[in-house]
Amino acid sequence: MIETALSILVGIFFAVAVYLLLSKHTIRIMLGVVVLGNAANLSIFTAGRLTREVPPVIPPDLYVPEIATANPLPQALVLTAIVISFSLFAFLLVLAWRAYQDLDTDNTEEMRIAEPKADPLPPLSY
């Protein structure tokens, strides 16, 4: 039940992320990157199955828990992914800010310094 709701939420997140990533303005693209990262994390979390209110305590005479508890591995994966995407996003923010300052535009169509529009053709004869 809760898995279904979360799956729909993940779908909405992906839709919003794709919409924002397709934008021309760097700030919207950055927001799209954040939403995309969260969509990925939420989908890992959901794919790892959800269990509520079962403490992962093993009785002293057993080796494994008596009933199914939450799987810690998806949470570890999400944590790793959060740390990585957070640091990458911090870098991206600085990069986008520097690009905005130096290139004087936040419109990706006008960001043509590396690939100038009026690039001459190579010599066609020897």
Partner 1 sequence: MESASNPYGVDISQAMIVERVALADWLLVFPVALPLLAAAILVMLRSRPKLHAPIALAVIGVVLVSNVVLLSRVLDEGPFAMTMGRWLPPFGITFVADTLGVLLATTAALVALVCALFGSTSIDVTGKRYGFYPFLLLLMTGVGGSFLTGDIFNLYVWFEVFLISSFGLLILGSERAQLDGAFKYAILNLVATTLFLIATGLLYGVFGTLNMADIALKADGLREEAPLTMLATLYLVAFGMKAAAFPLHFWLPASYHTPRLVVGALFGALLTKVGIYALLRTLFLLFPEEGGALSGVIAIVAILTMIFGVIGALAQTDIRRIMGYIVISGIGIMMAGLALGDRMGLAGTVLYAVHSMLVMAALYLLVALMRKAGGTYSLSELGGLYRSHPLLAAMALLLVLSAAGLPPGSGLWPKVMLVKSALDGEGGWLAFAILLSGLMTTLALGRVFALAFWRPRVDGAVVPATPLDRSGMFALVLIMVPILWIGLYPEPVLAMADAAAASLLDPASYSLLVLPAGGGS
Site residues for partner 1 per CB under 8 A: 21, 26, 29, 33, 36-37, 39-40, 43-44, 46-49, 63, 73-74, 77, 80-81, 84-85, 87-88, 91-92, 95-96, 98-99, 102-103, 108, 111-115, 119-123, 126
CB-CB neighbours of 15 under 10 Å: 12
Q: Which is nearer to partner 1, 59 or 120 (CB)?
A: 120
Minimum distance from CB of 103 to partner 1 (Å)?
6
C-alpha angle 91-40-69 in degrees, rounded to nearest 5: 125
Q: Which is nearer to partner 1, 69 or 108 (CB)?
A: 108
Residue pointed to by tokens 């810690």: 72
C-alpha angle 21-78-43 in degrees, rounded to nearest 5: 55
Q: Which is nearer to partner 1, 8 or 95 (CB)?
A: 95
Minimum distance from CB of 115 to partner 1 (Å)?
6
Exposure string over 80-118, b if 16+ CB within 10 A, otherwise e: ebeeebeeeeeebeeebeebeeeeeebeeeeeeeeeeee
Minimum distance from CB of 111 to partner 1 (Å)?
5
